[in-house]
Amino acid sequence: MSDTFDGIKEGHSRIPKGVMVLFIGLAAWAVWYVFSFTPTFSGWSQGKIYEERLASSRAAVKEIPYENPYEKDPKAIAEGKGIYEANCASCHGANLKGGVGNDLTAHFKYGETDKDKYLSIFSGRGGGMPGFGDQLGRDRTWKVLAYMDSVREYGMKP
């Protein structure tokens, strides 16, 4: 048997640079990935991320301002008066002095901060005060409160 040259040569061309870079890049990424997302190495955990997000959204909720943006705003108070007459006067009286509902110019048992008063109107109170949140929404709840306070706190005519 004699060696006959079959015409097929082994390729000696070098691996293209781009392929090499890509390969090394992927290998490095794989190491980084495994390292970063394996809890024993990096302390990464789904639970921790969840806790962090929860904490930051709790902080955001606390920051919701419970301060009436319409306090002493004449235009909002005028609108609030209309809302009051349509929704509240039947129980609390046209002059706010009470009826079925309590006197809105006297001491409040559920608290007298903006937040307390807002929640009384928005969510209602046990002893027969319906919640108006669904009907009025946030904005109009503040407006009717601005009207109530214009009489209650600032002595304006009802």
Binding site for ligand HEC (CB under 6 A): 87-88, 90-92, 100-102, 104, 108-110, 117, 120-121, 125-130, 132, 144, 148
Q: 12 or 107: whose CB is closer to ligand HEC? A: 107
Go through the chain and tell me how many residues it has: 158
What values do phi and psi take at 58, rounded to 5?
-60, -40
Q: 42 or 90: whose CB is closer to ligand HEC? A: 90
Q: Which residues are 22's β-sheet partners? A: none
What values do phi and psi take at 83, rounded to 5?
-65, -40
State the minimum distance, in angstroms, from the CB of residue 153 to ligand HEC.
12
CB closest to ligand HEC, residue no:
127
State the minimum distance, in angstroms, from the CB of residue 131 to ligand HEC.
9
State the minimum distance, in angstroms, from the CB of residue 61 to ligand HEC.
23
Q: CA triplet 9, 11, 13: central angle to 5 degrees?
A: 145
Read off the tokens for 141: 């709840």
92: Cα separation from own chain's centroid: 33
C-alpha span between 25 and 21 (Å, rounded): 6
Q: 63 or 119: whose CB is closer to ligand HEC? A: 119
Q: 6 or 134: whose CB is closer to ligand HEC? A: 134
